[in-house]
Structure 1
Amino acid sequence: MSLGNAVTADPPGTDAIHFNPAGLTHITGEVHSHSFGAVSLRAPASFRQGENFSIGGFTDDPLDGTSTGPMRQRVYIPGIGLPGWRLPGVILPGLGIAYNKEGSPFTWGVGNYISQAMSSDRTKDPNDPGRFAGKVMHLQRLVFAAPAVGYKMSDTLSVGASVPLAHQAFVFNTDMRMPNELLGIVGKVQQGWCPQNGGNIVDTFTFGLCGGGDEGRINPFKKAASIDLNMTAHVDPTINIGLLWEPLDWFGLGIVYQGGSKTKVSGQYTIRAEPMLRRFVEGMNSSLLGPIAAGVLGLPQSIPEEQKGNVSAIIPFPHRLQVGFKIKPTERLQFNVDANYADWKSWDALTLQFDQSIKLLEMARLFGVPDSSKLSLPRGYRNTLHFGYGMQAKVSENLTLRFGYEPRKSSIPQDKLDLVAPLPDTKLYSVGANYKISKEMDISVAASYMSGDYHVPANGSCNMNCDKFFNIVYNPYAGLDVTGGIRVRYFGVTLTKRF
């Protein structure tokens, strides 16, 4: 981290298992590394409606002028789940062990680490406007064991491979609202057609728009439902393959390919429908013509208050290719440059497969959702190429200082941004140091700060704020301008012991 992640040509100790397994050949004897990292993530956002704002005739969104509140992180513990601890940051432990027998071209290793993580908890404020894009969202990929080997082909060329065995977890708990033109129009018709006190006798012989009473009045800004997902994949293997070429003392080239995976996660879901849509459907089906209209439109006869069962999804883990150079103009000064390519285009959509027809989704057939046992959330991410830069200076025999800079091109285009993954283009700045305590032991520390900002005007992202007729899944901030950003703070320590 302290070198801006530009370490492919100079893999650091046992962390080479992840960054470039060929770098294990730099290790002699037996080496143990213990790492601890603390990560704090904040993603503030604010919402504002512009001129001529209208959702089917509703012109006052209660989220207008609001901002998201306190955000914390959670930790998923395999076998236990996601405890209720709301933490200001996440502690990420890591362990690496490597062994090289004197004179052998082989170096063996094993490590564990977090290879992917995104965590947000917005549960402290029950009225936080961010709750409609995830009260709790946690995506975590924990490599619990990565056996690895490095092979020294010559004095200047090494190759290596590792097989990360990962546990994948995805937890998502959110309130849902569906501001949409048609829902707004229906709500306005109800306001004009349905008496405030009591029913409409004529309505009983037509479509039953008033049959749900006050609770069945449609308001596109009201909470419609909540959904709770908890899915895991217990063992998901990938492969890392690396090459390291060091023809000169002052120059090195590193290449690593990190394989991807179409990880299948499975678990449980609970969907709770609010009275608004449940009572509306009941009213329609208690009238004369309502059941006919519902049948033609494919609407359900009823919506239960709660549905639960099993759910599965494919969460792609993108493959990556990284190429790096190291140049040492002097004995004490070194520069690193890496190019990083990632296949984020595989995140075209996240499709949830339920074990039954979801009655709430049957309401969405009118909007082009043909299969109510599936919920497809468009993503539309793109492949990325970005560079990282690092510099280290050996100021004494025991102390080395490190600096890094990594301008990251986001895999999420502006027209696909949302609060589930609020990641615009960012810049990462980092510093660190390594201190040799003794011949057998040294300690490294690193600190970094990453930030980026975005402004998405109304209808700027149909993953978040489009208000067109068919943009119902899923645009909770339809018609609103959304301004926000992301801030990530990191601090890490690694203690390395040689035997």
Structure 2
Amino acid sequence: MLRPMRPPGALLCVLALTGVVPARAALTDNLATSPVAMSLGNAVTADPSGHDAVHFNPAGLTRLSGKVKSDTFFGAKLRVFSTFHQPDGFDIGGFKEDPVNGLTSSGNAQSIFLPIVGSPKARLPVAVAAGLGFSFNEPGSPWTFATSTYVPQAVGIDRTRDPEDPARFQGRKVVIQRLVYASPSVAYKFSDTLSIGVGVPIAHQGFALDTDMRFPNQLIGIMGELQNAWCGDNGNPVDTFFLGLCGGGKDGRLNPFKRAGNMSFEATAPADPTLNIGVLWEPADWLGLGAVYQGGSKTVLTGRYHFHADPMFRKFVEGMYASLLGPVAGATFGFPTEIPEDQGGNMTMVLPFPAHVQLGAKIKPHPRVQLNVDAMWTDWGQWNQLTFQFDQNVKLLEMARLFGQADPSKLVIPRGYKSRWHYGLGLQVAVTPKLKLRMGYEPRKSSVPTDKIDLIAPMPDLTIRSVGASYTADSGTRIDFGASVTNGHYDVPANTSCNLNCTNFFNVIYNPYAGLDVSGGIRIRYAGVTITKPF
């Protein structure tokens, strides 16, 4: 028999959360943090399970009694694909055939970041992760203490298998990973219905980027065409008394579609603390309300960088400075007098970890049926740009002074992300007192606007569908399983994303697919299991 809903408050809560809040979403928030949460569309703020409460709502730790241990195991498979098309009228400074036209990138593997070790070179068919949690509560005490290990943020794309992968100019390898390895937390139960909790997650933040570079810019194309006309096949003896456009030989001929070099970064923040604050109110057995604030951080990472310069720019500069008038032109444009083949050193960067707010309701219209709904907001607007600060001027970057990049000791990569709201829905059915089945639905409108999307973060709108189950044995051991699938697609016509394919003169950093139509998508399959038991 259905239990009567005495006041309409629960219904009003659901309407407020689902009707007022638009379907907006973030990047990688909680994609694979908890098997229980993922199986319920991450709508668990009013019903946090076990040690997941450390992250989703620390107040929920008061539900744990005695000494409890949990082990979590995850596996994920991510596939990204992109296709490049050259539209009618394509022209980059006179060059009209881009060699990536008509090609598709689809052969990526997974990559992870290991503390101390860094990002392994081995390609992973499946990314794996594990978590561990402990909690302590004296019988009858309102206090519960806990700590947990989990991954609140992770993305790892490895395109290194094919050295000619057309997407290699925006990431042969991209890894962003945050691992919480300790999270001292405490919860206090004020009454049978009200609890609060506080946690301090201490995380290791890892970042790795390895990408080939090319600069399909109008000026580079015009200069390359001028070289072809002025120098011919065998050079021009008069050129020595002019600008030295031919002095670099055929290797020094500028081509907007030719690889200019490679850059790679690897940086970490070994210990970056944040703050979680949660409230849980359960005024009736059929109704629960929860709220959590997860603080952000201006995470400062330190590490190493390396730039490799291919012959094109190196030989071009050598030819200019070996001529009569070339040094004058080079100094006017701010070109370096030479470009070393390899240059590296120490770097720092700020990689903001965005703050997150989540509000949720739990409603049981029937003793065996539970509905969860959460509204979530993440401050991805902090990612307006990423700045890499180097310990010296990078000679290869000095070539970009002409395009407004005044300081070659730093590299600024525009992002322009947005802070979004979105919602999640969960359904739980108690088939028997020991067995529960779960379903989740989470539509996410990407925090990466269409005019900012690129292949470093190919995150379009996603729709996540999940299933799960929970079984509790007579011994008190509980096994929770969750699995999710998600797909998303994007279509970016030429000149619509200036992080990807703009042809504007000053958008040299960084639009490696200038003038091309780029389409693609992302597909993620992931599953996990948590085993919770007294100890």
Structure 1, unmatched stretches of 5+, are none
Amino acid at match of 2:109: R
Counterpart of 1:103?
140
SS of the residue 1:186 aligns to? helix
Tell me whether 1:77 sits opposite 2:114 in the alignment. Answer: yes
SS of the residue 1:293 aligns to? helix
Counterpart of 1:218?
254
Whether the 8 Å CA contact 2:468–2:483 is kept in 1: the answer is: yes
CA displacement 1:315-369 (0-9 Å, x = unmatched): 0000000000000001100000000001011000000001000111111000000
Whether the 8 Å CA contact 1:144–1:166 is kept in 2: the answer is: yes
Structure 2, unmatched stretches of 5+, are 1-37
Counterpart of 2:296?
260
Provide the TM-score with structure 1 as the length reference.
Answer: 0.99
Amino acid at match of 2:237: I
Amino acid at match of 2:207: F
CA RMSD of aligned residues (A): 0.7
1:75 Cα deviation after fit: 2.1
Structure 1 stretch 107-116 or stretch 78-87: which is displaced more? Answer: 78-87
The separation in 2 between residues aligned to 1:85 and 1:219, in whole angstroms, is: 33
Tell me whether 1:493 sits opposite 2:492 in the alignment. Answer: no
Tell me whether 1:386 sits opposite 2:422 in the alignment. Answer: yes
Following superposition of structure 1 onto structure 2, how do residues 293-442 of structure 1 map, counting pairs within 5 Å?
Answer: 293-442=329-478
Tell me whether 1:37 sits opposite 2:74 in the alignment. Answer: yes
Counterpart of 2:32?
none
Counterpart of 1:234?
270
CA displacement 1:156-196 (0-9 Å, x = unmatched): 11000110000011011110011000000000001110020
The separation in 2 between residues aligned to 1:254 and 1:354, in whole angstroms, is: 44
Provide the TM-score with structure 2 as the length reference.
Answer: 0.92
The separation in 2 between residues aligned to 1:176 and 1:83, in whole angstroms, is: 22
Amino acid at match of 1:174: T
Following superposition of structure 1 onto structure 2, how do residues 461-476 of structure 1 map, counting pairs within 5 Å?
Answer: 461-476=497-512
Counterpart of 1:143?
180
The separation in 2 between residues aligned to 1:64 and 1:396, in whole angstroms, is: 57
CA displacement 1:212-240 (0-9 Å, x = unmatched): 00000001000001011110011000010
Which of 242, 254, 276 is 2:312 aligned to?
A: 276
SS of the residue 2:100 aligns to? coil
SS of the residue 1:279 aligns to? helix
SS of the residue 1:234 aligns to? strand
1:397 Cα deviation after fit: 1.5
Whether the 8 Å CA contact 2:79–2:106 is kept in 1: the answer is: no
The separation in 1 between residues aligned to 2:368 and 2:60, in whole angstroms, is: 20
Matched residue pairs, number?
A: 498
Tell me whether 1:175 sits opposite 2:212 in the alignment. Answer: yes
Whether the 8 Å CA contact 1:314–1:350 is kept in 2: the answer is: yes
Which of 61, 70, 85 is 2:98 aligned to?
A: 61
Counterpart of 1:451?
487
Which of 322, 326, 329 is 1:286 aligned to?
A: 322
SS of the residue 1:265 aligns to? strand
SS of the residue 2:362 aligns to? strand
Amino acid at match of 1:448: S
Whether the 8 Å CA contact 1:392–1:400 is kept in 2: the answer is: yes
The separation in 1 between residues aligned to 2:154 and 2:272, in whole angstroms, is: 16
Q: What stretches of structure 1 move > 4 A for 4+ residues in a row?
A: none
The separation in 2 between residues aligned to 1:400 and 1:269, in whole angstroms, is: 50
SS of the residue 1:114 aligns to? strand
Amino acid at match of 2:458: P
The separation in 2 between residues aligned to 1:335 and 1:99, in whole angstroms, is: 29
Amino acid at match of 2:173: V
SS of the residue 1:61 aligns to? coil
SS of the residue 2:392 aligns to? coil
Amino acid at match of 1:332: R
Following superposition of structure 1 onto structure 2, how do residues 20-31 of structure 1 map, counting pairs within 5 Å?
Answer: 20-31=57-68
Whether the 8 Å CA contact 1:69–1:125 is kept in 2: the answer is: no
Whether the 8 Å CA contact 2:80–2:106 is kept in 1: the answer is: no
The separation in 2 between residues aligned to 1:219 and 1:252, in whole angstroms, is: 63
1:438 Cα deviation after fit: 2.1
The separation in 1 between residues aligned to 2:350 and 2:120, in whole angstroms, is: 24
Whether the 8 Å CA contact 2:247–2:316 is kept in 1: the answer is: yes
1:84 Cα deviation after fit: 1.9
